[in-house]
Amino acid sequence: MPLKLNKISLLLVLLSISAVFFFIEDLFLGSVHIPFSNVIDILFTSSSEKLSWNIIVLESRLPRALTAILCGAALSISGLQMQTLFRNPLAGPYILGISSGAGLGVAIFIMGLGFLGISLTHLTWIGNYGIIISSIIGSSCVLFILLVSIIRLKDIMTVLILGIMIGSVASALISIIQYFSYDNSLKSFVMWMMGDLSNVSLAQLKILFPVVLLGLILSFLISKKLNTYLLGEDYAQSLGVNIKMTQFTIIIITAILAGSITAYCGPIGFVGIVVPHLARLISKSSNHIIIIPLSVLIGTNMLLISDIISQLPGSEKVIPINAITSLIGIPFIFWIIFKNKRISELN
Amino acid sequence: MNEILNIVSLCVGYDKKPVISDFNTRISSPSLVTLIGRNGEGKSTLLKTITGLLPSFSGNISFFNKEISSLSTKEKSTIFSIVLAQPPQIGNITVRDFVGFGRYPYTNWLAMNSKKDNTIIDESLALCGLTDFAQRNFANLSDGEKQKIAIARAIAQNTPVIILDEPTSHLDMVNQIEIFELLHRLVKEKQKTILISSHQLQLAMHYSDEIWLLNQGEIEINAPTFFMENKTIEQLFRLEKIKWG
């Protein structure tokens, strides 16, 4: 039986509190030890004993923690929307090749500029917007191919295999483009590919934040339509939903969310698949009006925790966040599959 | 009895291939009409075209005097509700919330149910004998129960016409009878117009007001007694020993 509305509200409040806790924790922990009171001083008054602490907190840890929040929320919601649209519990931006599509878009953009003799180092604004737009275009293209194939193939499992193949083709094309690229642009691209949460500056966050926020608000606005998709397209249409328009909206929102995050943070796996399942499991509900806010908060918590672990507090080494999300995510997927036995009942 | 649907020169099909052409009929309200025919004849295509889920190749379908093709998806959702052969695969939802989907065309963007919506949902559950199931998880129920819930959902949508595409095909005999019994009551008590496709020839003959017999692109329309007396159905289904009783 689904939880009552007041229990859901309580859950949302608790998750918000834990997100704030992990956010502060993320600012506090790192390779350089900065006393907690100093971190708070730096945040509110921008003053500290050492200038280097100021720089570490404001220009490194704060943007990284904020990016973790955006990343967790955006990837969770893009995964949720894809699971609903494809009616497939294993759908997510990473598996369906959407991240690879975004990568190909960025590769064509960076290396294309290289061919024209333009270096990104001199064009910060064009570079920033160009990467985000090319990434969104790349991910939208993959989503459109997937959607056309759903209409023609009908079998959702085939679409999933197709997604994996599209991902491989995109990676192959990226390799070819890399092979023929100039040194400068190749370097920019490789840096992007290794991208993680710490790559995003405060200036870039000013672009990423409104883009992600827009995607999240739009996805909440279409929750009712997403709910009807749970019944299948024919039922959804018979309930007054304009199927084509809704599919188009879902694709655009997913592309904005997954594309923009991949543009800045590189491909981060498994958050998009796991978080929506956790939200359904905890709330025992499939109602998007409940599971969208819940997924946003669970995703935020998960990415903040992953970021804290990846910093290996107390040591000077940093593990790539992608490795942490995979290590947390994959056992969850196993657990979900074994617990439910039948994949078709997961959604 | 008044005419609710008027079908004129309708041609339907899929993948650019017509399967039924020049179909003309009028459906009166309230009535229970059963469409019978062999697999692959185009029963689902015809039903989906009538509800506006698929476009027709040519011809007109009108609801009273309004042409269906000129209506928006939203307007159509207040005229037709559907029940398909396969119950939806959906977990984590109570029976009551599932039936609540029927109120979607009438609720706001957050799908908040008004007092009236809640009353209609409760009535639909009661009509289908599902009141005790209201808080059960939809995923844990049998196929027969799920189809009854799908019908309760269609009732909650409160449309004058309900269209069911082989709703009994995966069910046992008891469930099949219960569903026809329920549809019969809806026609008598709620003045609904029901169009159903089914392979349950004997139940169709017993409960329907009118039979549409689809055979090789042609539809023959008549009262069940007519089909029981001549041998068209027996020949079509190669059932020499069938006894109508």
Q: Do A181 and A120 contact (CB within 8 A), yes or no?
A: no
- B-chain CB neighbours of A341 within 8 Å are none
What are the structural domains of chain B?
A: 1-71+161-170+192-245 (3.40.50.300)
Question: How large a percentage of chain A has pLDDT more than 90?
Answer: 34
Residue A310 has pLDDT above 60, yes or no: yes
The Cα–Cα gap between A276 and A262 comes to 19
Alpha helical stretches, state H, chain B: 43-51, 73-76, 95-100, 115-127, 143-156, 173-190, 201-207, 224-229, 232-237
Q: Give the pLDDT confidence of B149-204 residue by residue, as tens digits.
A: 999 999 999 999 999 999 988 788 998 999 999 999 999 999 999 999 999 998 99
* Interchain pair B104, A344: CB under 8 A: no
Residue B142 has pLDDT above 70, yes or no: yes
pLDDT computed for residue A3 by the predictor: 61
Q: Do A230 and A286 contact (CB within 8 A), yes or no?
A: yes
Give the DSSP H or E segment for A146: helix A124-153
pLDDT computed for residue B100 by the predictor: 96
Nearest CA-CA partner of A27 in A50, A55, A57: A57
Residue A165 has pLDDT above 60, yes or no: yes
The Cα–Cα gap between A163 and A99 comes to 11
pLDDT computed for residue B220 by the predictor: 93
Query: If you measure CA to CA, which chain A residue comes closest to B109?
Result: A224
CATH 2.130.10.10, domain A5-345, yes or no:
no
Chain A residues with CB within 8 Å of chain B CB: 1-2, 87, 221, 223-224, 227-228, 230-232, 234-235, 237-243, 280, 283-287, 289, 344-347
Domain extents in chain A: 5-345
Q: Give the pLDDT confidence of B54-79 residue by residue, as tens digits.
A: 999 999 999 998 999 999 999 999 99
Confidence bin at A1 (pLDDT 50/70/90): very low
pLDDT computed for residue A122 by the predictor: 60
**Chain A contact probe: residue of B51, B83, B104, B141 with most A CBs at under 10 A:** B104
Mean pLDDT calculated for residue range A264-283 = 88
* Interchain pair A238, B139: CB under 8 A: no
Question: How large a percentage of chain B has pLDDT more than 90?
Answer: 77
Q: Do A93 and A329 contact (CB within 8 A), yes or no?
A: no
Q: Give the pLDDT confidence of A218-256 residue by residue, as tens digits.
A: 999 999 999 999 998 899 999 999 988 888 888 889 888
CB burial of residue B197 (10 Å; 0-12, 13-18, 19+): buried
Which segment of A335-344, B1-10, B50-59 scores lowest on mean pLDDT? A335-344
Mean pLDDT calculated for residue range A188-196 = 71
Q: Which two tokens stand for residue A213?
A: 């926020």
Phi, psi of B63 (to 5 degrees): -100, 115
Residue A328 has pLDDT above 80, yes or no: yes
The Cα–Cα gap between A67 and B241 comes to 74
Sorted by sequence, the CB contacts under 8 Å of residue A20 that are 6+ apart come out as none
Residue A290 has pLDDT above 80, yes or no: yes
Q: Do A307 and A25 contact (CB within 8 A), yes or no?
A: no
pLDDT computed for residue B120 by the predictor: 97
Strand order in the sheet with B58-63: B17-29, B2-14, B58-63, B66-67
pLDDT computed for residue B245 by the predictor: 58
Residue B50 has pLDDT above 80, yes or no: yes
Q: Which two tokens stand for residue B196?
A: 């159903």
Residue A134 has pLDDT above 50, yes or no: yes
Q: Give the pLDDT confidence of B209-239 residue by residue, as tens digits.
A: 999 999 888 999 999 999 888 877 777 777 6
B82 residue type, one letter: I
Which segment of A145-149, A291-295, B237-241 scores lowest on mean pLDDT? B237-241
Nearest CA-CA partner of B92 in A89, A236, A220, A154: A89
More confident residue, B239 or B129: B129
Query: If you measure CA to CA, which chain B residue comes closest to A242?
Result: B73
Mean pLDDT calculated for residue range A155-170 = 81
The Cα–Cα gap between B46 and A149 comes to 25
* Interchain pair A289, B139: CB under 8 A: no
Mean pLDDT calculated for residue range A108-125 = 73
The Cα–Cα gap between A225 and B198 comes to 30
**Chain A contact probe: residue of B89, B136, B153, B163 with most A CBs at under 10 A:** B89
Nearest CA-CA partner of B130 in B145, B110, B141: B145
Residue A152 has pLDDT above 80, yes or no: no
Give the DSSP H or E segment for A175: helix A156-179
What does pLDDT average to over chain B? 92
pLDDT computed for residue A24 by the predictor: 92
> Could you please report the per-residue DSSP string of A76-95?
HHHHHHHHHHTT-TT--TTT
What does pLDDT average to over chain A? 85
Residue B32 has pLDDT above 90, yes or no: yes
Give the DSSP H or E segment for B195: strand B193-197
Residue A346 has pLDDT above 50, yes or no: no
- A-chain CB neighbours of B76 within 8 Å are 238, 240
